[in-house]
Structure 1
Amino acid sequence: MKPRTLLLGGLKAAVSLGLLAVILSGVDLGAVWARLDGDVALAGLAALVLLQVQALGAAARWRIVLAVHDRPLPLGTAWRNTLLGLFGNQAMPSTIGGDALRLWNGWRLGLPLGLATRTLVVDRVFSFLGLILLCVAGLPVLAVRAEDPLVARGLLTLVLGGLGCLVILLGLRHLPAGLAKRKALAPLVALSTSAWCVLGSRRALPPVLSLMLLPHLIDITVVWLYALALGTTVPWWTIALVFPPAILTAAVPVSIAGWGLREGALVLGFGIVGLPGETALACSLLYGISAVVTGLIGGAVWSLGDPDGLGALRRARREAGRLAKDPHAGAVDAP
C-alpha cells in the first residue's frame, strides 16, 4: 500500500476516533450501558433482517439499471454482488473499497468494466437522490426547530450541495460535442448519459424511484426500533426527520465508514427534536454495529456462493486494491 494511501487512511481513522472521543466525553456511558437489555438484542435481530432486505432491494435496483443497458443479471447474483460491497465497506477504510470489490466481481461475471462502473455509479446516484429528497422533506421542520441559525444554514448548505452535484452530473449530457469528447470529460458524460437512459425508461423508472427510497426508509426504521428498545417513546416520523441528514453528513469522505460524523450529526439532530443525546449515541453505535455485522454476513454469503470459497475474499481484496488504483487493471472493456 502506498504511503499516501496509508496517510489518508490514518487521517480518516484519527477523525473518526477524535469525533467519537469528543462525543463520548459528554455522555453518561453508564446510563447507556444500563439500557442495553433483551429488548435491544431483539431489535438487533430485527435490524439484521431489515438490512438484508435492504441489500436485496439495492440488488434489484442495480439489476434494473443493468437491464436498461441490455445486460440482464439474475437477482441472486446481483444480491451476492451487493453483499460483497457491504463487506468491503466495513473491511476497507472507505466505501470506495466496497465499490471496487463490486466492480471487480461484476467484471468476473462478464460485465464490461466500463459498463459495470457506470451502472454501479448510476445506482448510487439514485440512492443518493432518495436520501436528498428525504432531507429536503424534513428540512423546513428542522430549520424551524433549530435554535442555532448556524445549524439551519449548515443543513441547508449540505442539502443544496448534494442537489448541486446531482444537477451537474445530469447536465453533463447536454455539453457541446466538442467538450463532451474531451478525454477528461468523456467518462463523466457517459455516466450522465447512463443516468438519463434510466430516467427516460417508462418501464424502469417507477421501480427505480421506489427502490431509491427503500434503503433509507429501512435505515430510519432500524434506528427507530433501537430507540424504542432503549425505552424512548418516539414517533417514526421524528427519526425520519433527523436520520437522513446524519447519513448525508456521514457520506463526507473524511472518516472511516462515517464513524464519528454520523454519531455527532445524530446527537445534534436528536437535540433539535428534544430527544436525549445518550439515546442518539446509543442508536447510532448500534446501527453502525448492525452494519458491520451485515457486512461480515455479506462476505460469508458471497464467498459461499463463489466456487473458490473463502479464499476468494482474500483475492477479491487484492484485486479491488488494484482496481481502486487503476480502473483498467487486468480487464478489457468489451463492447
Structure 2
Amino acid sequence: MSEENPKAGVVSSSSHQKRHTHWQLLLQVVFTVGILLWLLHGTHWQTLARRFAELRPFWFLAAVLSYAANLSVSAIRWRIILLAMERSAPMLWLLRLNWVGAYFNQVLPGSVSGDVVRAWYTRHQTHSMPLALAAVFGDRFMGLGALVAIAAVAFLLDGARTGLLPQMGWTIGMLVFAYILIVFLILTPWLNFLEKVAGRLGEKLHDIRLGMGALLRHRLILVGTILLSFVVQFFSILTFWLLAHALGEAPGAVAVWVVWPVVSLFLALPISFAGWGLREGLMVFYLSYLHMGHDQALALSLLLGFTVVLTSLPGALLWIGLHRHHQAPPNLKTPPASR
C-alpha cells in the first residue's frame, strides 16, 4: 500500500487556490471593463470632458481631506475594537496600516484585500491571525452597520422622494435582514457544532466569533465603536456631497443619504475590481430616477473613484519598509491560553 505524500497535497491545494484567485481576478476585470464600456458607449464625451475641465479645485481638495479624515477616524475605531479583545497596538501603527490597507484595496483583486493585509501586519499584536482578522472584520462590519442604519432611517424619513427609486424599500429591507442575521450567527452558540467538526477551519472560526462576540457584548466599547462608525460614514457621505459640488451639482437629500450609502454597501461585494464599474453602474441607474443625467452621474462616480485612489496612494509609500517593522511595538498583555 502506497503512503500519501502530504507535501503533494499542500502543493495541490496551493495550486488550486492560485487558479481560483486568477479566475476571480479575470471575472472581476471582465465585469468592470464590460460595465464601463457599456456606460461610456452612451456617454457624450465632450460633455463629460467639460465637466472635469470645470472642476472646482476648492471643493475637490475639501473632498480629499474628508476622505483622509474617514481613514483616520476608522483607525481609532480599529484600536478600540482591539481593546475590546484585550489586545493593543500603537495608534500611529494602525493609522499607517489603515492607509496601506486602503491602497491595497485599490490595487488587489477582491473587496477586502486591504483588510487581509491589515490583519497580517497586526497578527503579532493579537498573537493570532484569526483574532487579527476578527478585529479587522469587526472594524469593517461596524462601518457597514452604520451605512445600513443611515440608509434605512433616511428612507423612512423621506418616503415620498425615495419612492422614486425602484425597489429601494426591498433592497434596504434585505440589507437590514442580512446584517441582523450575521449578528445572530456571531452571537448564537448554535455554530459550536460546526466549529468542532471543521478541524483547523473550525478553530479559526471559533477565534473570529470569539473576538467579534467580545466586541458585541462589551457595551461601553460597542457604543463607542457605533458612534465612531457614524462619524466615519459621515465623512464618506460628506466626500460624496463635496465632489458633487466640485462638479457643479447639488444632489438632494435622497441621493446623499440613501443612494450613496446603498451604493457603498454594494461595493463590499467582490464582483468588480476595486468597485470600478459596479459603482458607476449603480450611480447612473439610481441617480437617473432623481433627475440627474447619465453624463452627470457618470462624471460624479468616476470622480469618486479617482478621489479614493488619489487619497489612498500615500499607502504605497507607507508600505515601503513595513516588513521591517511588522513586529511593531509588541502587545504587552498576556496572550490567551491555547485551547
For normalisation by structure 1, the TM-score amounts to: 0.82
Q: 1:263 aligns with which of 260, 280, 285?
A: 280
Farther off after superposition, 155-164 or 10-19: 155-164
Where 2:320 maps in the other structure, the secondary structure is helix
Paired with 2:269 and 2:219, the residues of 1 have a C-alpha distance of 33
Tell me what 2:189 maps to. Answer: 174
- Give how far 1:10 is off: 1.1
Letter in 1 for 2:302: L
Q: Percent identity among equivalent residues?
A: 25
- 1:182-261 residue pairs with structure 2 within 5 A? 182-183=197-198, 185-235=202-252, 238-261=255-278
Paired with 2:77 and 2:190, the residues of 1 have a C-alpha distance of 28
Q: 2:88 aligns with which of 72, 75, 80?
A: 72
Q: 1:294 aligns with which of 311, 322, 331?
A: 311
Quickly say closer, same or farther: Cα 1:267–1:158, change in 2 above 3 A: farther
1:15 aligns with 2:22: no
Paired with 2:256 and 2:160, the residues of 1 have a C-alpha distance of 15
Tell me what 1:102 maps to. Answer: 118
Cα deviation, 1:163-209, whole Å, max 9, x if unaligned, reads 254244334x3227545533254533443332232222233122200
Q: C-alpha root-mean-square deviation of aligned residues, in Å? A: 2.9
Structure 2 gaps, min length 5: 1-14, 327-335
Question: Does the Cα contact within 8 Å between 1:146 and 1:272 map onto a contact in 2?
Answer: no
Cα deviation, 1:275-307, whole Å, max 9, x if unaligned, reads 223222111111111111122112213437x48
Question: Does the Cα contact within 8 Å between 1:263 and 1:284 map onto a contact in 2?
Answer: yes
Cα deviation, 1:110-145, whole Å, max 9, x if unaligned, reads 642222111111221111111211222233446864
Quickly say closer, same or farther: Cα 1:45–1:38, change in 2 above 3 A: farther
Letter in 1 for 2:267: A
Paired with 1:233 and 1:97, the residues of 2 have a C-alpha distance of 34
1:54 aligns with 2:70: yes
Structure 1 gaps, min length 5: 313-332
Tell me what 1:328 maps to. Answer: none
Letter in 2 for 1:230: L
Letter in 2 for 1:10: L
For normalisation by structure 2, the TM-score amounts to: 0.81
Quickly say closer, same or farther: Cα 1:176–1:61, change in 2 above 3 A: closer
1:137 aligns with 2:153: yes
